[in-house]
Structure 1
Amino acid sequence: MILVHKEKCIGCGSCERDCFSHTIQVRAGKAEVLGKCMECGHCLAVCPTEAVEMEGYDQAEVFSGSREECMVAPADFLRFLQFRRSTRQYEKRPVESEKLAQILEAGRYTPTARNRQDVHFVFVQEQMPQIREMIWEGFREMAEQWEDPGYRRMLLEFCKDRQANPENDRLFCGAPVLLVLTCAYPWNGELTARTMELMAESLGLGSLYSGFIQRAIGNSKAAQQALSIEGERIAACLLLGYPAVRYLRSVPRKKAHVTWL
């Protein structure tokens, strides 16, 4: 709920102009909240006198400044993206809880449609051995039922290789952390996963999106129960950990298919 401290409000109209839902308006020289809104916080962020408060949220998280003070140099950001690789080799060491907390914060601050903030974050590290086996069981059943024969043969080869040598895990690649995101509107989870992945990369971690794991969890009631996501819609699965490989250069990409109008 949005609260306006009338004694601080100067009636400048900044909040009204930036309110997409037209819920806050200036009347008789003071801003008023006329109904329930999306609680996006734009009115709080734009107010020059700190007259707006969001009830039910931690105001200690709010800091003052300018967008320019938080900017990353465009050339640096582009090089960061160019050097990013999907990691399929991980060191056998856990990820510190402090770094996982930072990744969570990046996800929590990701914009969501209609500001729903509806993403359920599940981090698996301590219980990875047990949950990994449940997911592998779902993967095996999924592989046996796969319609395309060529693809089914490849997936069953994954299972055969791991059965012969448990270290040959082509599904989890030795990653110590699995992040599962669920939400009613999958695009919110997809956007959030991308933000969290970039934070992980900035912390020196590697990451890998896994559609195989996502589908295998959907095929395993035991895994869904263990992850506390029964009845929820999986939006993305990310493997995280310290890379056991060091890349020395970026790689080229195809030219963009773009239309300028």
Structure 2
Amino acid sequence: MIQIDRGLCIECGLCAGICEFHEISMSAEGPAFLNQNCCDCGHCLAVCPQGAISMPQCDMGSVREYDPKTFDVEPERLLNMIRFRRSTRKFQNRSVPQDAIVQLLQAGRYSPTACNNQDVRYVVVHQEKDMVLDKLWEGLLAHARTIGDQELEERCRQYRQTGVDTLTYGCSHLIFILSGRQLNGGIAACSIELMAHAMGLGALYLGYGERAVAASPELQRYLGLSDECQLCAILCVGYPAVTWHRTVPRNALQVSWR
């Protein structure tokens, strides 16, 4: 729900106009909050030029006033960052501090979710990484046998024999991203991966890890998966042990203008 400070409100009607669910109506006394279908999206709070709207049930201390100097990113610079990011498969042998991981997760926290569900949660593995890595390889072996992929089976056997990790590549942390909606988790993963690049960290989408979890009831229980809480993505995160010097080519844009 929202609260409207009548002393600050100038009755401009912007809050009523921006509300997708028509939770605010304008009257002779000014805006009135109906409190029937509000999803706490905060659009009314963000659009109010006077700062007259608050959401007392939320952390108002996290609200930031718009400042073009610190908020705006030039389009070409953003596009260049997206061009320059690379999947990391060589990590340094050092841990990422927990406060840096929290900063990464904040990028996921502020990513959009349908109807402001905010239904994305995370399992961050660091202390138990060796155990989880073994279980991932076991699940991947089960997956390989199910689909008859002999090359992948051999890769799993090589890990058992040598301990050389060609799955997570010695990353510092594994971030399991969970949600009831695949798209919500996928958007959060994208934000986290780009934030990692901005922080000088490396990240890798672990597609094989998702297949391993799908083949491992033990890992599914460990992560707390259910029909309402699905695995959307796994990110390997750490300090990259490689330096990139340029972008790489990509196929031509495929688009139909209708």
- With normalisation by structure 2, the TM-score equals 0.94
Q: Distance in 2 between matches of 1:184 and 1:228?
A: 12
Correspondence for 1:26: 26
What is the aligned residue count? 256
Correspondence for 2:66: 65
Q: Contact 2:123/2:175 (CA < 8 Å) preserved in 1?
A: yes
Correspondence for 2:162: 165
Instruction: For residue 126 of structure 1, give the secondary structure of its aligned residue in structure 2.
Output: coil
Name whichever of 25-34 and 14-23 sits farther off.
25-34
Q: Distance in 1 between matches of 2:65 and 2:248?
A: 39
Correspondence for 1:224: 220
Unaligned runs of 5+ in 2: none
Q: Identify the match of residue 183 of structure 1 among 149, 170, 179.
A: 179
Residues 1-261 of structure 1 mapped to structure 2, 5 A cutoff:
1-34=1-34, 35-66=36-67, 69-146=70-147, 149=148, 152-167=149-164, 169-229=165-225, 232-261=229-258
Q: Contact 1:131/1:226 (CA < 8 Å) preserved in 2?
A: no
Change (3 A) 1:228 1:243: same
* TM-align CA RMSD: 1.6
Instruction: For residue 238 of structure 1, give the secondary structure of its aligned residue in structure 2.
Output: strand
Instruction: For residue 256 of structure 2, give the secondary structure of its aligned residue in structure 1.
Output: coil
Unaligned runs of 5+ in 1: none
Deviation at 1:164, TM superposition (A): 2.4
Instruction: For residue 204 of structure 2, give the secondary structure of its aligned residue in structure 1.
Output: strand
The residue type equivalent to 2:119 in the other structure is D
What percentage of aligned pairs have identical amino acids?
37
Deviation at 1:95, TM superposition (A): 0.7
The residue type equivalent to 1:59 in the other structure is M
Name whichever of 9-18 and 101-110 sits farther off.
9-18
Deviation at 1:185, TM superposition (A): 0.9
Q: Distance in 1 between matches of 2:220 and 2:129?
A: 14
Deviations 1:22-60 (A, max 9, x none): 111211231111123121101001112222111321111
Q: Distance in 1 between matches of 2:155 and 2:30?
A: 66
Change (3 A) 1:41 1:106: same
Q: Distance in 1 between matches of 2:138 and 2:57?
A: 42
- With normalisation by structure 1, the TM-score equals 0.93
Change (3 A) 1:211 1:165: same
Instruction: For residue 181 of structure 1, give the secondary structure of its aligned residue in structure 2.
Output: strand
Q: Contact 1:6/1:31 (CA < 8 Å) preserved in 2?
A: no
Q: Distance in 2 between matches of 1:154 and 1:247?
A: 30
Deviations 1:223-244 (A, max 9, x none): 2233343552111111111111
